[in-house]
Amino acid sequence: MALKSVFDSSVIRAEFDKAGINTRFIPLIWKYVIQNPDFNWEDIPSLPSSAYTLLGAKFKTLTSVVDSVLESNDGVTTKLLIKLQNGAFVECVIMRYDSSLGKLNGKPRPGGPRSTLCVSSQVGCKMGCTFCATGSMGFKNNLSSGEIVEQLVHASRLSTIRNIVFMGMGEPLNNYSALVEAIRTMTASPFQISPRKITVSTVGIIHAITKLHNDVPNLNLAVSLHAPVQDIRCKIMPAARAFPLEKLMNALQEYQKKSQQKIFIEYIMLDGVNDEEQQAHQLGKLLETFQVVVNLIPFNPIGSLSQFTTSTNQKVIKFQKILRGIYDIRTTVRKEMGQDISGACGQLVAVDLKKFYVDRRDD
Ligand SMILES: C[S@@+](CC[C@H](N)C(=O)[O-])C[C@H]1O[C@@H](n2cnc3c(N)ncnc32)[C@H](O)[C@@H]1O
Ligand code: SF4
């Protein structure tokens, strides 16, 4: 029988309850695991003896291992290749936005440099977006909540993680219960990441969006819209057929009414597909009644897997000007990081990953 992750919080809580062990010990165990890469359960001080027996019989200190670490040329992005207990690989990416100096407005940032961790929620993805490397793999399996949290544990040993984005491999809302449990663990002791520093990015799984705020309030929601009209959306994102634009916008309206928070809209700029002035106006009209921030994202090449190219700078700037100037919508252009190690959005793919890493080490 495969041993469980101690970071699968519902499993460890149930086991502790069954054995009559106080669950207040669980955060202490988590803290010990984060701080000590190599140890035996007996090394953790001050647990009841029944806890050592239970941990030894049913749990592993970590069920996943860091197989390789790749640094981008500028040292800002680090990609971890993580091997799961079932032999599959996922990736997570640390982005040190202000790592070089850890400064804010020229002064040392209180608490040191801040890093953002991009985590994976699935091995592969079944949504099949035509521009996404992960989508090209198809769906392999869901991660458990413990496997999601373990990515944070591995990354925390390399960097102080302040923000989490669910923008790695997979569609987080297609792995809903593990996602919710992982977020509850990440926001609890000892991680204590504020929900406001966690962003869940989704292709638009309507039934999950409608319950997300009730289950985990105060998160940031990012929606991968990528087109302002249903027919273009369907062409580039097959999932749009099951989750039509009109119904998605209604769900977002409801979400915003409940959460009172702005929603992030992700929009990949694909040359000749969704980047014309007409589409900027359609997007402006679609979003003008919402509180949103639109991120215009350059398309990251994924080798021969996709037929797209990214829009020219002029088109991106024109698009941004229309949204800002005419529709008064906050619109940013995302600076992609980590392209040289395929650590940018949509470039995470576990096909032949081992080979990729080995090849890169030889560069
Ligand atoms: C990989 S997805 C994971 C989260 C979720 N499944 C989603 O689609 O929002 C994270 C973001 O990367 C974007 N993305 C996918 N492929 C991309 C590519 N080749 N270039 C730029 N962004 C891409 C997605 O559209 C999404 O906004
Ligand atoms: S963009 Fe997101 S939903 Fe689409 S295939 Fe990639 S991971 Fe899945």
Helices marked H in the chain — which ranges? Answer: 9-19, 25-35, 49-58, 133-137, 145-156, 176-187, 206-215, 230-236, 245-259, 277-287, 313-321, 353-361
- State the burial class of residue 169 (Cβ atoms within 10 Å of its Cβ: 0-12, 13-18, 19+): buried
- CA angle (126 as vertex; 120, 131 as ends), nearest 5: 80
Residue 352 confidence (pLDDT) above 70: no
For ligand 2, mutation pick of 132, 175, 248 (most atoms within 8 Å of CB)? 132
CA nearest 137: which of 168, 183, 113? 168
Nearest ligand, CA 125: 2
For ligand 2, mutation pick of 91, 118, 119, 129 (most atoms within 8 Å of CB)? 129
Q: Are 283 and 290 in contact (CB under 8 A)?
A: no
CA nearest 64: which of 185, 1, 149? 149
Q: What backbone phi and psi angles, to 5 degrees, belong to 313?
A: -55, -40
Report how far residue 131's alpha carbon sits from residue 140's, in angstroms, rounded to the nearest whole number.
19
* Torsion sign (Cα): 3, 356, 120, 127: negative
Residue 177 confidence (pLDDT) above 70: yes
Residue 99 confidence (pLDDT) above 50: no
- Find the catalytic residue in 15, 91, 147, 266: 91
For ligand 2, mutation pick of 127, 173, 268 (most atoms within 8 Å of CB)? 127
Cis peptide before 190 (omega within 30 of 0): yes
345 is catalytic: yes
What is the average pLDDT value for the chain, to the nearest integer?
90
> For residue 132, which atom of ligand 2 is closest to its CA?
6
How remote is the C-alpha of 347 from its chain's centroid? 13
- The pLDDT, as a whole number, for residue 30 is 98
Helices marked H in 60-157 — which ranges? Answer: 133-137, 145-156
Q: What backbone phi and psi angles, to 5 degrees, belong to 244?
A: -60, 150
Q: Tell me: the pLDDT tens digits for 184-238? A: 999 999 999 999 999 999 999 999 999 999 999 999 999 999 999 999 999 999 9
pTM: 0.92
Q: Tell me: the pLDDT tens digits for 11-35? A: 999 999 999 999 999 999 999 999 9
Q: Are 247 and 288 in contact (CB under 8 A)?
A: no
Region of residue 88 (phi > 0: left; psi between -120 and 50: alpha; otherwise: beta)? beta
Residue 121 confidence (pLDDT) above 60: yes
Q: Give the ipTM.
A: 0.99
Q: Is 294 in the pocket of ligand 2 (CB under 6 A)?
A: no
Q: Residue 114: what residue type?
A: R
Q: Is 300 in the pocket of ligand 1 (CB under 6 A)?
A: yes
Q: Mean of the pLDDT values across residues 304-312?
A: 84
Q: Are 346 and 131 in contact (CB under 8 A)?
A: yes
Q: Is 123 in the pocket of ligand 2 (CB under 6 A)?
A: no
CA nearest 281: which of 360, 228, 351, 230? 228
Nearest ligand, CA 171: 1
Q: Tell me: the pLDDT tens digits for 29-84? A: 999 999 998 899 999 999 999 999 999 999 999 999 999 999 888 888 999 999 99
